Structure 1
Amino acid sequence: MPDKYKNLLDGNIKWSADTAKSNPDLFKQLAKAQHPEFLWIGCSDSRVPATQVTNALPGSIFVQRNIANMVVHTDTNLLSVVYYAVKVLKVKHIIVCGHYGCGGVLAAMSNKNFGFLDNWLLHIKDVYRLHSKELDAIEDEHKRGERFVELNVQEQVNNLSKISFIQEEWNKGEFPYIHGWVYHLGEGRIHNLDVAVNSAKTLSGVYQYEPNS
């Protein structure tokens, strides 16, 4: 058991060899620079790896992950990733991808105490408060949890739209588009929530920044 981590190293050897056979130039191209068109903001859950579930090659998706795919405006790590993605890498699409059965969302829906984690879960609980009327009306706890996952993704899309430097990019053109998706663990399929935005016009006026002169 202590040496089990070595399976990852052995797996890397096999993966790199197999990849070099199927795509001989890939590693040479990746070594030069990255040019991803997508930023993926997902959950830290080990069952939802961005490139695998989208059948994408390494180098195609810039990734930021945390518990329950949250966009918290005081999270300097996330903001730095988003800034680099839109200002330097010039990604065309930002995807917020949650997943049904998310432990963070279900924990926030409960009244249990999770110690230090409760500080992070408060941000998710705030989403529940915003949509409590709809969620409280869903008697089936499983269905309520699934709807909570969807609403949480929608709110994180809104939170991205409120970021000033994203609005700066929108004032220059149509990109980036921000999309809200949910991954179904039991199906292995992504559900598009059809909440794509590329403008601050859908936000309340107080969140809209004036263009720089």
Structure 2
Amino acid sequence: MLETVKRLLDNNQEWVQEKLSEDPAFFEFLAKGQQPKFLWIGCSDSRVPTDVITKTDPGEMFVHRNIANLVINTDMNMLSVLQYAVDVLKVEHIIVCGHYGCGGVRAAMTNQHYGLIDNWLQQIKDTYNFYWPYLKGLSHEEQEARLVEFSVVQQVYNLGKTNTVQNAWEKEGRPYIHGWVYDIKTGKLVVQTPMIHDNKGIDRICRFANSNISFKEGYLEDVTTFEEITDPRQS
């Protein structure tokens, strides 16, 4: 067991030497501060390493991760990261990135109880119920993939409605918000929403307020109103 941990420390030493051989001033530059252009809100899943899949260096990406990449307006951790990134670091872009095969999404689709995390996953359960008309005709695997996508859109909407983003949009016209999904089977990032930088964009893409949504080539565009909704809890 100690050898497993020691491997991490040994790897760190190797990484330090590799970086110094590439640029002797690498760590001196990093120590001066950070000026990232991006805030990444992603899942804690160990298979989705932010810097690896985007090929970014230290200092380029400010990162917040949690189970199932949720943006919840009572989560002081996420809100604090967001406020610091937007108001202090002045990031230009915020990326909300989910991923196929997400354990949190999979758990939210069941009626099983997992403990404390059930409270955290309730928002995904609500999303699942809301979009049941689009999901009920799909296989379980397809439902899971689509729910990952729906949840990303929900988080983009939640993000756009935070006071931090609203104030920044009003004063400076930034940040730009992006909704992506990472495909673990291919290693590729899939764009799920267009770039959004104002309320018109957030309301056009994410029409949760009046229960409207439709799809075209992966984007949420022309509106179709739900007139009859079958609740999955009753099916």
TM-score (norm 2): 0.83
Q: Give distance in 1, aligned partners of 2:159 and 2:187.
A: 26
Q: Which moved more, 1:23-32 or 1:49-58?
A: 23-32
Partner of 1:211: none
CA contact (8 A) 1:98 1:150 kept: yes
Partner of 2:184: 185
Unaligned runs of 5+ in 2: 210-235
Q: Give distance in 2, aligned partners of 1:113 and 1:171.
A: 42
Query: In percent, how many aligned pairs have the same letter?
Result: 49
CA contact (8 A) 1:39 1:95 kept: yes
Letter in 2 for 1:128: Y
Q: Give distance in 2, aligned partners of 1:81 and 1:17.
A: 31
Residue aligned with 2:98, SS: strand
**Superposed, which structure 2 residues align to 1:27-66 within 5 Å?**
27-66=27-66
Q: Give distance in 1, aligned partners of 2:107 and 2:94.
A: 26
Q: Give distance in 2, aligned partners of 1:49 and 1:42.
A: 9
TM-score (norm 1): 0.92
Letter in 1 for 2:174: F
Partner of 2:108: 108
**Superposed, which structure 2 residues align to 1:15-164 within 5 Å?**
15-138=15-138, 140-164=139-163
CA contact (8 A) 1:154 1:195 kept: no
Letter in 2 for 1:53: I
CA contact (8 A) 1:41 1:97 kept: yes
User: C-alpha deviations, 1:113-141, integer Å up to 9, x for none?
Assistant: 11221111112111112212112232x11
CA contact (8 A) 2:153 2:193 kept: no
Residue aligned with 1:5, SS: helix
Partner of 1:6: 6
Structure 1 runs (4+) deviating above 6 angstroms are none
Unaligned runs of 5+ in 1: 207-213
Partner of 1:169: 168
CA contact (8 A) 1:97 1:181 kept: yes
Q: Give distance in 1, aligned partners of 2:87 and 2:129.
A: 33
Letter in 2 for 1:85: A
Q: Give distance in 2, aligned partners of 1:40 and 1:119.
A: 23
User: C-alpha deviations, 1:32-58, integer Å up to 9, x for none?
Assistant: 000000000000000111111100001
CA contact (8 A) 1:97 1:182 kept: yes
CA contact (8 A) 2:176 2:197 kept: yes
Letter in 1 for 2:45: D
Letter in 2 for 1:113: H
